[in-house]
């Protein structure tokens, strides 16, 4: 399920991103996406490809990874995002929900750390600083 008001467009200095053509209230479920779960060995192979930038760690101990279908892999990162993702390991789903109201035309961001306001540097910011 993807809300019909969501669309993909160019995001300034970030490639593509997910935007909304309507105002969205806080706490609104905006996407439910199935995932394809891959093993730790398969993740090692993906880490050698461009897909590395689009996979999510998966499982209680982050031992596997997944490729999310739908728009999930297109949401850009922000440390104080306006949406968050929730992983449902049993159903093999990722849900995206707003954490505050989002204006019409605004880009929707998730925090790649998993919590909408977690300021711990994500992998690509750690690489920039080393």
The pTM of the full predicted model, rounded to 2 decimals, is 0.89
The CATH class of 6-124 is mainly beta
> Once rounded to an integer, what is the mean pLDDT over residues 97-112?
97
- Measured CA to CA, the distance from residue 62 to residue 39 in angstroms comes to 10
Q: What is the pLDDT of residue 113?
A: 83
Per-residue pLDDT tens over the stretch 53-78 = 899 999 988 889 999 999 999 999 99
Q: Where are the domains of the chain?
A: 6-124
Q: What is the pLDDT of residue 63?
A: 86
- Give the helix ranges, DSSP H, for the chain: 40-46, 123-129
Residue 128 above 70 pLDDT?
Answer: no
pLDDT digits (tens, 9 = 90+) for 85-97: 999 999 999 999 9
Average pLDDT, the chain: 91
Residue 83's closest CA among 71, 65, 66? 71
């Amino acid at each position: 399920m993807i809300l019909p008001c969501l669309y993909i467009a160019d995001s300034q200095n970030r490639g593509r991103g997910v935007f909304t053509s309507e105002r969205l209230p806080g706490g609104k479920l905006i996407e439910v996406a199935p995932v394809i779960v891959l093993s730790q060995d398969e993740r090692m192979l993906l880490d050698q490809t461009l897909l590395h930038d689009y996979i999510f760690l998966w499982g209680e101990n982050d031992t596997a990874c997944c490729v999310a279908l739908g728009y999930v892999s297109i949401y850009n990162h922000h440390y104080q995002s306006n949406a968050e993702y929730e992983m449902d390991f049993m159903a093999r789903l990722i849900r995206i929900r707003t954490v505050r109201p989002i204006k019409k035309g605004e880009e929707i961001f998730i925090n790649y750390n998993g919590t909408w306001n977690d300021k711990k540097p994500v992998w690509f910011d750690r690489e920039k600083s080393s």
